[in-house]
C-alpha cells in the first residue's frame, strides 16, 4: 500500500545574519515531527530553506561592498552546516535565488495580474526594512514598527497591488469554519479580531526603489515584494506550475506550516488569499509557536543577547540541545533561555534520569549474569505497573504528538524513565543477587529494565536521533524489527538472551559552576566580530615602517619584586643586550622564557615600570586570559629585522 504523504515546513530564514538558537527552535520542532511521522510510516516531505531577497539583504551586502548573492552564499553555507550539526533531516532546502523558484514566482505574479487580482497603482506609506513589512500611519506605534519597535522608512513609489481586501470575507468564513487551520486557538482570535474583522487593505506587492528581488517579468523596473516571493516557496519547492509537478500533486495541501507567532499574519491572511486567488487548496494548518526569550525579551543582535547554537551543540551535543528546546518550552508559548536552565536540564533529565537508568541496567546485567542471561523468570509484584505504563506512555505520546505538543510528549516519556528508575529501588536487585534462588526474580527485574529502555529508546528517537543507538548498543540490541515504532505496542518483544556491552556514560554530569564560566567565555569570544574598517582607520606603509621590530633571544628572566604580573628579561638582540619588562608573569614562568626567540619592538621610548627600566616591548598575542608570546617560526639569529 502506498504510504500516506505528510508535508511539513519551517519558515525560510533570512540569511542577513547567522541564525541563533531561537531560529533552531522552529527547525528542531519541524525535524522532530518529520522524524516522528517517518517512524509512523508516512511518506514525509520536510522543507526548509532561505529567504534571500529584499531590501534588508541588499543593504547589508552593500555595506560590506559585495554582491547580495555573494553575501547570502556565505551565510547559506553556514546555515546548512548548522542544520547538519543539529541533525536536521530536511528533504529539500530551497533558496529563493534558485532558478526554478524565481520562475514560479514570476508565473504566479503574472497569473494573478492576468486574473485581475494584481493591479498597478502607487504606494505611499511606511516600510520596516528589518521586518520587510508595509504599515499605514495608523498602524505605527509611536511612529515605529509595531512588530519590532525599530524606525520605519517613508516610501512613495509606483507599485503593483494585490487585491487582499477582496478576500477578507472569504478568509473570515474559512477560518471560522476550519477550527484546525490556525493553531493554537489564541492566534486564531488574534487574526480575526486584530486584522480581519477591522478590514483588510490591498497589499503592495512590488518595489522599485531597490534591485535585489525577482523582477516582475512584464515590467522590469519592479521587483516582487519579498513576502509574496517567500510565501510561494512552499509550492515552488514542489514544482507547482512546472512540467514536473508530481510532488505538488502528492504533497499539497501542506499538513502543517510551523511558524513563529510574529509571522502567523502573513501565513494565515496573505498566503491563503494568494492561494484562493490562484484557485489552489489552502494549508491544512498553520501552527504559530512562541519565542525563545532572554529575560523576557526577544533575542536580537542589536541587543547583543543572541545565543549561538553551534557553540552549544559543540559543547553538549545535538541531542542535549534538541531535548532542551523541545522540553523546556511548551509549544505555542514563550520560554526563557538561560545557560543555567540548559545545564540543569541536561544534568537532571539526561545525566541523572536517563543516563543513570542506562548505566545501572547495563552494569547490573553485566555484573550478575555476564554473557549468560537467565531465561527462567519469576515475577515481582511491581511488574504489571511498569509494563502497563510503558504501553500507556506510547499511546499518550502519540496523542500529544498529533497536536504538536512536543514538551508534553517528553514529560510523558520522562515519567516512564523515572517510574522505571523507581522500579529498581522497589525491587532492589542488589539484595536479590545475594541469594541463588532469587536469580529468576533478578533476571525478571533486569529484563523489565532492559525492555522499558528499549521502548524508551524508540520514543525518544524523533527528539534525539543519536542517543537511541547508544542505548541499544549497550543493551546489545541488534534486531531492527524491535527498533520500530510499531514494536513499542507490545511489551516483551526483547529477546531473553541479553548480552550487554558496557560503554561510556551517555550523558556525563556537568560541573555547573565551572561550566557556566567557560560557556560564558566561549559565547563572548564567539560574538567578537571583525570590526568594520573605515578609510581613516587605515595606516600607511610609512606609518608601519616607523615601528622597528627585531628578533631577540631571552638570556635571563626574573620576576619583578612586588608585581605579580611582570617579568623582567635580558634579551640579546644581535650584539646588544636589552632589559625589557613585560606583563606575562601569569602565563610564563621565568624558566619558560629563557632561550625563547621573541619579537621585540626596539625603537620604543624607554620607560620605568614599577621602578624597573624597560627598553622595548616583547610582542604577545592574547585572547581573554590566554596569552602567548610571539616567536619566529624557524631558526634565525637574534637581531634579524621583522617586517
Query: Between 286 and 510, whose beta carbon lies closer to ligand MSP?
Result: 286
- Please return the burial class of 469, using the count of CB atoms within 10 Å of its CB with bins 0-12, 13-18 and 19+: middle
Decide: is 35 part of the binding site for ligand MSP (CB under 6 A): no
CA distance 184 to 187: 6
- Tell me which of 11, 68, 272, 616 binds ligand MSP, using CB under 6 A: 11
- Tell me which of 7, 40, 51, 90 binds ligand MSP, using CB under 6 A: 51
Decide: is 13 part of the binding site for ligand MSP (CB under 6 A): yes
- DSSP 8-state symbol, 13: B
CA distance 639 to 230: 62
Decide: is 259 part of the binding site for ligand MSP (CB under 6 A): yes
Query: Between 23 and 40, whose beta carbon lies closer to ligand MSP?
Result: 23
Residues 6+ apart with CB under 8 A from 534: none
Decide: is 134 part of the binding site for ligand MSP (CB under 6 A): no
Smallest distance from the beta carbon of 22 to ligand MSP, in angstroms? 2
Is the previous residue joined to 405 through a cis bond, with omega within 30 degrees of 0? no
Smallest distance from the beta carbon of 202 to ligand MSP, in angstroms? 20
The distance of Cα 29 from the centroid of its chain, to the nearest Å, equals 10
Smallest distance from the beta carbon of 289 to ligand MSP, in angstroms? 7
- Tell me which of 6, 7, 8, 12 binds ligand MSP, using CB under 6 A: 12
CA distances from 169 to 2, 163, 356, 542 (A): 38, 13, 57, 72
In the range 325-354, which residues lie near ligand MSP by CB under 6 A? none
Q: Nearest residue to ligand MSP, using CB?
A: 260
- Tell me which of 68, 260, 476, 616 binds ligand MSP, using CB under 6 A: 260
Query: Between 147 and 521, whose beta carbon lies closer to ligand MSP?
Result: 147
End-to-end CA distance of the chain: 73
The DSSP string of 134-183 is: EE-GGG-BTTB-TTT--B-EEEEEEEEEE-GGGGHHHHHHHHHH-TTTEE
Residues 6+ apart with CB under 8 A from 183: 285, 286, 287, 288, 332, 404
Query: Between 299 and 445, whose beta carbon lies closer to ligand MSP?
Result: 299
In this structure, are residues 182 and 268 in contact, taking their beta carbons and an 8 Å threshold?
A: yes
In the range 197-256, which residues lie near ligand MSP by CB under 6 A? 230-231, 233
CA distance 93 to 302: 28
- Tell me which of 105, 200, 263, 442 binds ligand MSP, using CB under 6 A: 263
Query: Between 171 and 274, whose beta carbon lies closer to ligand MSP?
Result: 274
Query: Between 259 and 519, whose beta carbon lies closer to ligand MSP?
Result: 259
Decide: is 14 part of the binding site for ligand MSP (CB under 6 A): yes
Smallest distance from the beta carbon of 259 to ligand MSP, in angstroms? 5
Query: Between 101 and 597, whose beta carbon lies closer to ligand MSP?
Result: 101
Decide: is 378 part of the binding site for ligand MSP (CB under 6 A): no
Stretch that binds ligand MSP, among 85-93, 121-129, 292-300, 597-605 (CB under 6 A): 292-300
Residues 6+ apart with CB under 8 A from 398: none
3-state secondary structure of 580: strand
> What is the contact surface with ligand MSP in residues (CB under 6 A)?
11-14, 22-23, 25-26, 51, 230-231, 233, 259-260, 262-263, 291-292, 298-299
Amino acid at each position: 500500500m502506498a504510504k500516506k504523504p505528510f508535508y511539513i515546513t519551517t519558515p525560510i530564514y533570512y540569511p542577513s545574519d547567522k541564525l541563533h538558537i531561537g531560529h533552531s527552535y522552529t527547525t528542531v520542532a519541524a525535524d522532530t515531527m518529520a522524524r516522528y511521522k517517518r517512524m509512523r510510516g508516512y511518506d514525509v516531505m520536510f522543507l526548509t530553506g532561505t529567504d534571500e531577497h529584499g531590501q534588508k539583504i541588499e543593504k547589508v551586502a552593500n555595506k560590506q561592498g559585495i554582491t547580495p548573492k555573494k553575501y547570502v552564499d556565505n551565510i547559506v553555507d553556514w546555515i546548512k552546516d548548522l542544520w547538519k550539526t543539529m541533525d536536521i533531516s530536511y528533504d529539500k532546502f530551497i533558496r529563493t535565488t534558485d532558478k526554478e523558484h524565481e520562475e514560479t514566482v514570476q508565473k504566479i505574479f503574472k497569473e494573478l495580474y492576468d486574473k485581475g487580482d494584481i493591479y498597478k497603482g502607487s504606494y505611499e506609506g511606511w516600510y520596516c526594512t528589518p521586518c520587510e513589512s508595509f504599515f499605514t500611519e495608523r498602524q505605527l506605534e509611536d511612529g515605529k514598527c509595531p512588530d519590532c519597535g525599530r524606525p520605519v522608512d517613508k516610501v512613495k513609489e509606483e507599485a503593483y497591488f494585490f487585491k487582499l481586501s477582496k478576500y477578507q470575507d472569504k478568509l473570515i468564513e474559512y477560518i471560522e469554519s476550519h477550527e484546525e487551520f490556525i493553531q493554537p486557538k489564541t492566534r486564531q482570535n488574534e487574526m480575526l479580531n486584530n486584522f480581519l474583522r477591522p478590514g483588510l487593505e490591498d497589499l503592495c506587492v512590488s518595489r522599485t526603489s531597490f534591485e535585489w528581488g525577482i523582477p516582475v517579468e512584464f515590467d522590469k523596473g519592479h521587483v516582487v515584494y519579498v513576502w509574496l516571493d517567500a510565501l510561494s516557496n512552499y509550492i515552488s519547492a514542489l514544482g507547482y506550475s512546472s512540467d514536473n509537478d508530481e510532488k505538488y500533486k502528492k504533497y499539497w495541501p501542506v499538513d502543517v506550516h510551523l511558524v513563529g507567532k510574529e509571522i502567523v499574519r502573513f501565513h494565515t491572511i496573505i498566503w491563503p488569499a494568494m492561494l484562493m486567488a490562484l484557485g489552489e487548496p489552502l494549508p491544512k494548518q498553520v501552527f504559530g509557536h512562541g519565542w525563545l526569550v532572554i529575560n523576557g525579551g526577544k533575542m536580537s543582535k542589536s541587543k547583543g543577547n543572541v545565543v549561538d547554537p553551534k557553540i552549544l551543540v559543540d559543547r553538549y551535543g545535538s541531542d542535549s540541545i534538541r531535548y532542551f528546546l523541545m522540553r523546556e518550552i511548551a509549544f505555542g508559548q514563550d520560554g526563557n533561555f538561560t545557560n543555567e536552565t540548559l545545564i540543569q536540564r541536561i544534568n537532571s533529565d539526561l545525566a541523572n534520569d536517563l543516563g543513570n537508568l542506562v548505566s545501572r541496567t547495563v552494569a547490573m546485567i553485566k555484573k550478575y549474569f555476564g554473557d549468560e542471561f537467565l531465561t527462567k523468570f519469576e515475577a515481582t509484584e511491581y511488574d504489571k505497573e511498569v509494563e502497563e505504563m510503558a504501553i500507556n506512555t506510547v499511546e499518550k505520546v502519540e496523542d500529544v504528538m498529533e497536536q504538536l505538543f512536543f514538551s508534553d510528549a517528553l514529560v510523558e516519556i520522562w515519567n516512564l524513565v523515572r517510574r522505571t528508575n523507581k522500579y529498581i529501588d522497589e525491587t532492589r536487585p542488589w539484595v536479590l543477587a545475594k541469594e541463588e534462588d532469587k536469580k529468576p526474580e533478578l533476571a525478571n527485574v533486569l529484563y523489565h529494565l532492559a525492555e522499558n529502555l528499549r521502548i524508551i529508546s524508540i520514543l525518544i528517537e524523533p527528539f534525539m536521533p543519536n542517543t537511541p543507538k547508544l542505548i541499544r548498543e549497550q543493551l546489545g540490541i541488534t534486531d531492527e524489527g524491535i527498533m520500530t515504532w510499531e514494536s513499542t505496542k507490545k511489551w516483551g518483544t526483547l529477546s531473553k538472551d541479553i548480552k550487554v556491552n558496557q560503554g561510556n556514560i551517555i550523558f556525563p554530569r556537568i560541573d555547573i559552576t565551572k561550566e557556566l564560566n567557560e560557556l560564558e567565555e566561549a559565547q563572548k569570544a564567539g560574538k567578537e566580530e571583525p570590526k568594520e574598517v573605515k578609510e581613516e582607520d587605515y595606516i600607511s606603509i610609512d606609518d608601519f615602517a616607523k615601528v622597528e621590530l627585531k628578533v631577540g633571544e631571552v638570556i635571563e628572566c626574573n620576576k619583578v619584586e612586588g608585581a605579580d604580573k611582570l617579568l623582567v628579561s635580558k634579551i640579546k638582540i644581535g650584539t646588544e643586550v636589552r632589559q625589557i619588562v613585560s606583563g606575562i608573569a601569569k602565563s610564563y614562568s621565568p624558566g619558560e622564557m629563557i632561550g625563547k626567540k621573541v619579537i621585540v619592538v626596539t625603537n620604543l621610548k624607554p620607560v620605568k615600570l614599577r621602578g624597573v627600566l624597560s627598553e622595548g616591548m616583547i610582542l604577545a598575542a592574547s585572547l581573554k586570559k590566554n596569552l602567548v608570546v610571539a616567536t619566529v617560526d624557524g631558526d634565525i639569529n637574534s637581531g634579524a629585522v621583522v617586517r
